[in-house]
Structure 1
Amino acid sequence: MAASDADAPLSFPVISMEKLETEERGAAMEVIRDACENWGFFELLNHGISHELMDEVERVTKAHYAECREHKFQEFAARTLEAGEKGADVKDVDWESTFFVRHLPASNLADLPDLDDHYRRVMKEFATEIEKLAERLLDILCENLGLEQGYLKKAFAGSGGLPTFGTKVSSYPPCPRPDLVDGLRAHTDAGGVILLFQDDQVSGLQLLKDGRWVDVPPMRHAVVVNVGDQLEVITNGRYKSVMHRVRTRADGNRMSIASFYNPGADAVIFPAKELVAGKEKKEGVKEEEVYPRFVFEDYMDLYVRHKFEAKEPRFQAMKSSAAVVVDAPIATA
């Protein structure tokens, strides 16, 4: 296993979005470029979502766990610890309490049990702000990549013109035996761009960089952004999705609210022609050697079976079936 890297002299990429409106824009864009290409993660400050809203999201989320989910989790925890201490392998278990909210193409917020009306209103408002931030980010990434404005949003749109957009709300309670089980096993994210509002008091999220695990630092009112597999494909490998995990801790209950701005189910995903051409010219890479073309839901069908494995065999499997995928229906100019 790779060694922990908490003390390594690495500067985790942090960007204040306010700088994008100043003479420091060029430097900020360079940090984003480097982060997407070499880290797969970066952290945003001054992103436009009000601190008051974020504080309320945190308050009601932690209260909801304590009132509605903690008892059930403790039952799971007792079974898992008992099995692990008796010698059973519990490495395929995640030490987390989770529920999912779907926003687009159709919301299921009203149908989720145990959420009071106030929590629903707060989550709806937060999702609206996160969606706007995700779309702003996609245009920033288009600029960084030299793609036309709106290219990535169009690439993510399914036949109904909408992405798949949802939120995973997680708690990672304290674990008395962190040596037995991870909070969340190492994986890359299948989708497009992921925006995370994480606990600023309890750490645990790590990414794999240059063979070592690096902490994603908790920062108050920050939004952590990471690159999903689909952005790696669309950018023809210029951006990289990276393995990441959540470590258990003996103290603290870590909150994680991860929103996934993903392609629509029937969106056809393929490398942007401008980036393929650029790579061919620069590196002599032949077109048949680049990332595959596939339908997003087909990739997801494979991903759910192989989430905690390397991404490269998934790409190769999609490449093997790429010949049956029709031309993509998005504009390129």
Structure 2
Amino acid sequence: MDRDNVKVEDGGTKADKELGWGKSLPVPSVQEMVKNDSESVPERYIKEYQDRPIDSTLSPNMFDNIPVIDFSLLVSGDGDKLNKLDSACKEWGFFQLINHGVEVEVLNSMKAAVAAFFDLPLEEKKKYAMAENDIQGYGQAYVVSEHQKLDWCDISFLITQPPEYRNFKYWPTTLPGFKEAVDEYSKEVERVTVAICECLSRLMGLDKHGLKRLHGVMKQSMRLNYYPRCSRTDLVLGVSPHSDAGSMTFLLQDDEITALQIKYKERWLPVKPIPNTLVVNVGDALEAWSNGVYRSIEHRAVTNTKKERISIAAFVLPDDEVQIGPVDSMMVDRPRLYRNVKFLDYLKHFLDKNLDGKSHTSFLKLEKEL
């Protein structure tokens, strides 16, 4: 199908063109593999020993947990909450956001829409498969080699904001309620994003709209994740360790299953879900803009033996042509540690590799960094 002739709803035109971000090789559906044989783990999914989720790598203090920030107090100008946001982004790179104002019905509708998509027959889901030259759609991301180890996860990747960037070729628009659920949830995440940006702008010595303005056209994409249950959770990972390329990520996860882990003080710390909370993390672009004051943190997802798990990661992204590099206010008492890089160049570098911790961020850093 000629992508230039794709008809886009909402009056959009931007989606008619290829993203130009990268591509991912097609691989079999893990969901279907488990349906056909729930006990076997194919060799290609078995991680190398040093990469497996071994208990000895977990944080010994399981009472440690990432900061919890009350959004309603934060945006009301509470100084203590602003300081807590600053500390969370510096020390953890992650925080859980409560009282964010997104209605429970909106959260549940989004989860239900994703579950309904992955419940579709395989042949129906394949109608929305990733194209050879695109990472949008149904499949698996970061597959750059026929020989690399794979994650125990199926995904669908969509551009969700602004509306004119959506490409409905990859949306299951015939699935009742799907488009409406994504539309409502994506707008709510955008609202929260703008408010967090205003708080971070203040902390970074910028004017109220400074961080939002740095994005150019602030984009949002979503990765819809389906993690089947696994008989050998000690051998596989749902998602390999990585940091996120954008400025921020908002994760809506299963309230009942602890699967997300972050790398904290060189150990893996499980992030126990708080019902109806959004997990927020710093991305590589914000790390670069802040000159390394705020750090994107490695994180991964493990599997479980009992039931499948769904999560929704909403990525906040700068415009392709925007430069990501330290802002002047973050170099007053700190030498420049990052160079200026066009975000599209960084994103291509990021997507051309399999997930490997934070190795890709060396592309952003000056060689003189110690």
Distance 1:146 1:113, change over 3 A: closer
Pair 1:46-2:99 in alignment:
yes
TM-score of the two chains, using structure 2 as the length reference: 0.73
Residue deviations 1:282-310 (CA, integer Å, cap 9, x gap): xxx3x4xx211010010111111235234
Pair 1:297-2:344 in alignment:
yes
Residue deviations 1:104-159 (CA, integer Å, cap 9, x gap): 353435322544241111111111111111111111111222221111111111xx
What is the aligned-residue RMSD (CA, Å)?
2.5
Is the partner of 2:272 in helix, strand or coil?
A: coil
Distance 1:68 1:148, change over 3 A: farther
Equivalent residue in structure 2 for 1:95, among 143, 146, 152: 152
Residue deviations 1:253-305 (CA, integer Å, cap 9, x gap): 221111111110111111010111232xxxxx3x4xx2110100101111112
For 1:12, the equivalent position in structure 2 comes to 66
Distance 1:205 1:302, change over 3 A: same
Residues in 2 aligned to 1:210 and 1:292: alpha-carbon distance in whole angstroms: 26
Pair 1:122-2:181 in alignment:
yes
Give the conservation status (yes or no) of the 8 Å contact 1:294–1:318.
no
> Which amino acid is 2:249 matched to?
I
Distance 1:303 1:208, change over 3 A: same
Give the conservation status (yes or no) of the 8 Å contact 1:91–1:180.
no
For 2:253, the equivalent position in structure 1 comes to 198
> Which amino acid is 2:362 matched to?
F
For 2:355, the equivalent position in structure 1 comes to 308
Residue 312 of structure 1 and its aligned partner are, at CA, apart by 5.4
Distance 1:276 1:173, change over 3 A: same
Residue 70 of structure 1 and its aligned partner are, at CA, apart by 11
Pair 1:245-2:300 in alignment:
yes
Residue 22 of structure 1 and its aligned partner are, at CA, apart by 5.9
Residues in 1 aligned to 2:235 and 2:124: alpha-carbon distance in whole angstroms: 21
Distance 1:180 1:268, change over 3 A: same
Residues in 2 aligned to 1:313 and 1:127: alpha-carbon distance in whole angstroms: 28
Residue 183 of structure 1 and its aligned partner are, at CA, apart by 0.4
Residue 20 of structure 1 and its aligned partner are, at CA, apart by 2.4
Is the partner of 1:32 in helix, strand or coil?
A: helix
Structure 1 unmatched ranges of 5 or more: 74-88, 280-284, 321-333
Distance 1:278 1:173, change over 3 A: same
Residue 196 of structure 1 and its aligned partner are, at CA, apart by 0.9
Is the partner of 1:306 in helix, strand or coil?
A: coil
For 2:312, the equivalent position in structure 1 comes to 257
Is the partner of 2:89 in helix, strand or coil?
A: helix
> Which amino acid is 1:294 matched to?
V
Is the partner of 1:292 in helix, strand or coil?
A: coil
Residues in 1 aligned to 2:327 and 2:299: alpha-carbon distance in whole angstroms: 26
Is the partner of 1:197 in helix, strand or coil?
A: strand
Is the partner of 2:236 in helix, strand or coil?
A: coil
For 1:235, the equivalent position in structure 2 comes to 290
| More divergent stretch after superposition (290-299 vs 303-312) | 303-312
Pair 1:155-2:214 in alignment:
yes
> Which amino acid is 2:355 matched to?
F
Is the partner of 1:291 in helix, strand or coil?
A: coil
For 1:108, the equivalent position in structure 2 comes to 166
For 2:41, the equivalent position in structure 1 comes to none
Residue 169 of structure 1 and its aligned partner are, at CA, apart by 0.6
> Which amino acid is 2:344 matched to?
E
Residues in 1 aligned to 2:254 and 2:67: alpha-carbon distance in whole angstroms: 18
Pair 1:189-2:277 in alignment:
no
Number of paired residues? Answer: 292
Residues in 1 aligned to 2:296 and 2:225: alpha-carbon distance in whole angstroms: 21
Give the conservation status (yes or no) of the 8 Å contact 1:98–1:170.
yes
Structure 2 unmatched ranges of 5 or more: 1-49, 51-55, 127-145
Give the conservation status (yes or no) of the 8 Å contact 1:42–1:225.
yes
Distance 1:318 1:208, change over 3 A: closer
> Which amino acid is 1:246 matched to?
A
Percent identical pairs in the alignment equals: 28
Give the conservation status (yes or no) of the 8 Å contact 1:110–1:120.
no
Residue deviations 1:206-253 (CA, integer Å, cap 9, x gap): 000101001122111101100000100000110000110001111222
